Amino acid sequence: MVEVEQLVPKPRSRFVKVRCPDCGNVQVVFSHSSLTAKCFKCGRVLVQPRGGKALIIAEIVEFLT
């Protein structure tokens, strides 16, 4: 997997624990995902792919290293 560093600002963590703004479900998502990540419970889109960096549309609980 090739990463374009210029498009990936800090933090460089790859996995992020997020809380769904709709149902409060907490799950771990891949912060550089090329796939859309949805909430396991309610199906809300939590991560949208944006080129090299995914857009996280949820409350970030913590960055995992």
Would you list which residues are annotated within the binding site for Zn(2+)?
Answer: 20, 23, 39, 42
Sole binder of Zn ion in the list 25, 26, 52, 56 (CB under 5 A): 25
Q: How far apart are CA 14 and CA 16, in angstroms?
A: 7
Q: Does 54 bind Zn ion (CB under 5 A)?
A: no
Q: How far apart are CA 47 and CA 37, in angstroms?
A: 5
Strand partners, 55: 48
Strand partners, 26: 19
Nearer to Zn ion, 16 or 20 (CB): 20
Q: Contact positions toward Zn ion, by CB under 5 A?
A: 20, 22-23, 25, 39, 41-42, 44
